[in-house]
Structure 1
Amino acid sequence: MAQILVGTRDGLHRFDASGNALGIEHAGREVTTIAPEGSELWAILDGKEVVHTAGVDWWFRVANLSGRRGNCIADTRAGVILGTSDAHLYRIAGKGVERVRSFERAPGRKQWFTPWGGPPETRSITEDRDTVYVNVHVGGVLRSSDHGESWQPTIDIGTDIHRVTTGHGRVYAAGAQGLNVSQDKGDTWSASHEGLKGSYCRGVTVCGDTVLVSAADGPRGGHSGVYWSSVDGRSFERATQGLPDWFSHNVDSLWLDAFPNGSLAAFGTEDGNLFASTDRGRSWSQIARGLPGITRVQLIT
C-alpha cells in the first residue's frame, strides 16, 4: 500500500494516498528528514539523532551527529550517507557513522559559500545507476562513480542549486534561475525557466513521464506554485486544478515527492497542508491540513 510520510516539527505523520491518517511516530520530536532503504526507513531526529527501523513498529538509535546538523539522508551505492551542516558527508558504519573524508577533498570546496555569509551545507543526495550526486548549497552538484572514493564538481557554483534528483537518464537540479538538466551525468547542463512565473526553484521530482518542480519569485516566496514539464524540462505549465491561486511561501526542497512510475505525487506547504495527485501533477486534492511545521514529504510502498 502506498503511504505518504510527512516529517514535521512534531513527529512523523503517516497517511494513505487518500489522506487517511495511519499514525504518528516520534511525537514531540522534529523529524528532520526521512529516507527509505528497501522496506526499511532511516530518519534524522532534531537534526542530530540518526534512527532506523527494519519494517517493524519500533525504531532504534544508530548515532548522534556531534556538532553537526543533519539535513538529508539517502541509501546509495556509496552506502547510507548523510549530508550535514558545514557541507560534510557521513556514512553509516557499523553501529555509528564515519565522515566521508574524500568529500573533504572535493575540488572547489574552498569556494563554497552561502548568500548570507554562513557556512555551506549539504542539502540533497540522489543516485542513478553507478553514480551518486550530492547537492551543496551553495557549491553546485558533485558526483562520484566509485562508491564515494572521489568526487567531481559538475555545475557552476553560481547556479545556486537547492535540490538534485535523477530519472530517465537525466540529472535534474532545481536552482535559483530555473531547472537545470543534464543528459550526460553532469558533464554539460541546460537551464530553463520558460513558463515559470518566478524562476526560483526549490523542489524537483520525477513522476512518470513528467517532471514536477516548485518555484517562486525568490527565497522569501511570492507567486509560489507547483509546475509540471515533460522529461526534457524545457518548458513548464503551472498546476492549478485543486490548488490555490498561489502559495505565500516556497514549497521547500524536500516537501515535494513522487513515485517514479507516476502513480502518486504529494507536496506539503508552509502552513501545514498536504496535497496529492494521481495524474502526474495535472490536478491535486488537499488530503490533510493543520499539520505541524513540515520538514519532509516522502512516498513509500
Structure 2
Amino acid sequence: MPTYYAALSDRLLVGDGEWSERLRGHDIECVAADGRAPSRVLVGTAETGLQRSIDGGESWERVLDPSANGGQSADRVTSVTVSPHDPDVVWAGTEPSAVYRSTDGGSNWSEREGLTELDSASRWSFPPRPHTHHVRWIAVAPDDPDQLYVAIEAGAFVRSPDGGETWIDHPEGGRYDTHTIATHPDAPDRVYAAAGDGYALSTDRGETWNSVEPRSTNDASGGQPRAPQDGLDHRYVWSVAVHPEDPDIVVVSAARGARSAHSTSGESYVYRTTGQQWERAMDGLPEPDGLARAVLATDGDGVAALSNHGLFRSADGATWHQVGSWAEAHDQVPRGLAVV
C-alpha cells in the first residue's frame, strides 16, 4: 500500500487510509514527494514558505529563503515538483512569479532568472489578488531533465528548453489560466493542461495547442490526438492526471466556475476520456453537491483523487473506491496530493 501525502487547506495528512496529521494551522498551497526518496516531503505554504521533512513528516524545517542572499522573500510557495530524472533535483515556484531549482533535495536553491522579463509578463494577474501572480505548476518532460513547463496563474504557459537558463513565452492557442500540467513517459511529446479556460493538449512539447473538437476517423491531421471537448460540460478544469499505463486515458476535475470549484458548498465533477469524448466518472465518488474540485495524481497503476470527503482510488479512472476519509476536514479544500 502506498503512502499518501494529502494536503488540505490547513493541514497535511500522512498515511494509507489511517492518517497522521502534520503542519496543522499552516496555509498549504502544494505538496511534493517521490518514491525514490519516500521520507522526504516538501510542502509549499502561503505564509511560512517551503517546508521540508526528511523523516516522513515527523519534523520540519523551512528551506528556500532567497532573502538570506539579498533576494525577495519567498513566503508564498505555490508549486513544488520533484524531477522524474533525479529525486535530488527539486523545482519550486513562488508568488510573485519566480522559479527556483535545488540539486540537493531542497537544502540549497538558485533562482532561474528571466521569467518576468517575458513580453507577456505585463499581462499576468491573479484575479483574487490582481496586483500579483504566481507559478501554479511546474512539470518536467519525462525524457529531458532540462525541458520545463511552467503555468503562471494567471496569464501564461511558458517553457524552458535548458533548465531555466532561457524562457519561451506563451504560445498561440495555449491556455492562459493553467492550473495543472501533466506528461506521460510513453508519449513524451504530449503536454496535458487543466485550466480555468478549459482543457488543452499539445503534441509537440507545448509549442502548439489543440483545444478544439475531437478528431473523427477521417481527420486530415494524420491521426494525431486532439483535445476532446465533447461531453466536458464543466469547463473550469482544475486538475489532470494521465493513466500511468495508457497516455490516452485522461482524468480531470472540473466545475462551472472558480466559486463552485473552490468551495465545499459548491459543485464539481470528475471526467474521463480515452481520446474521443469525455464522460462523467463519478461512480464511487461523493455526490457533486458539496464536493470541492478534486486534486488528482497517478497512483501506482491507477489514479487517486483527493476531495474534501476523503481519498479515492481508481484502477481505470472511471470507477472509484474510498481509501480514507476525515469527517473533521469536510470543510477543507484539497490543495495537493503526493503518492510514494
User: What's the TM-score, normalizing by structure 2?
Assistant: 0.75
What one-letter code is carried by the residue in structure 1 that aligns with 2:80? Answer: I
- Alignment partner, residue 293 of structure 2: 251
- Alignment partner, residue 338 of structure 2: 299
- Alignment partner, residue 43 of structure 2: 43
Q: 1:48–1:64: 8 Å Cα contact kept in structure 2?
A: no
Distance 1:162 1:31, change over 3 A: closer
Aligned counterpart in structure 2 of residue 215 of structure 1, from 249, 254, 257: 254
Shift of 1:266: 2.1
- Alignment partner, residue 22 of structure 2: 25
Q: 1:83–1:90: 8 Å Cα contact kept in structure 2?
A: yes
CA distance in 1, matches of 2:204, 2:182: 14
Q: 2:148–2:161: 8 Å Cα contact kept in structure 1?
A: yes
CA distance in 1, matches of 2:63, 2:133: 25
CA distance in 2, matches of 1:223, 1:61: 35
Question: What percentage of aligned pairs have identical amino acids?
Answer: 26
Shift of 1:213: 0.4
Matches within 5 A, 1:274-285: 274-285=310-321
Aligned counterpart in structure 2 of residue 75 of structure 1, from 74, 79, 82: 82
Distance 1:294 1:15, change over 3 A: farther
SS at match of 2:327: coil
CA RMSD of aligned residues (A): 2.7
CA distance in 2, matches of 1:10, 1:161: 23
- Structure 1's unaligned 5+ residue stretches are none
CA distance in 2, matches of 1:46, 1:137: 15
Distance 1:279 1:146, change over 3 A: same
SS at match of 2:200: strand
Matches within 5 A, 1:1-301: 1-16=1-16, 19-21=17-19, 23-37=20-34, 38-39=36-37, 40-55=40-55, 57-64=58-65, 66=73, 68-76=75-83, 79-92=89-102, 95-115=107-127, 117-128=130-141, 129-130=143-144, 131-156=147-172, 159-167=176-184, 168-169=187-188, 170-191=190-211, 192-208=228-244, 209=246, 210-221=249-260, 223-230=267-274, 232=275, 234-248=276-290, 250-251=292-293, 255-259=295-299, 261-268=300-307, 272-286=308-322, 287-292=324-329, 293-301=332-340
CA distance in 2, matches of 1:202, 1:154: 19
Shift of 1:107: 4.0
Over residues 123-181 of structure 1, what are the superposed CA-to-partner deviations in whole Å (9 max), with x where a residue is unaligned?
Answer: 11111122111100122211112111011124346642222121232101112342100
CA distance in 2, matches of 1:2, 1:100: 33
CA distance in 1, matches of 2:9, 2:279: 32
SS at match of 1:73: strand
CA distance in 2, matches of 1:175, 1:155: 15
- Structure 2's unaligned 5+ residue stretches are 67-72, 212-227, 261-265
CA distance in 2, matches of 1:68, 1:29: 12
Shift of 1:250: 4.4
Q: Give every structure 1 segment of 4 or more consecutive aligned residues whose post-TM-superposition deviation is greater than 4 Å.
A: 93-96
Corresponding residue pairs, total: 290
User: What's the TM-score, normalizing by structure 1?
Assistant: 0.84
Shift of 1:218: 1.3
Q: 1:107–1:152: 8 Å Cα contact kept in structure 2?
A: no
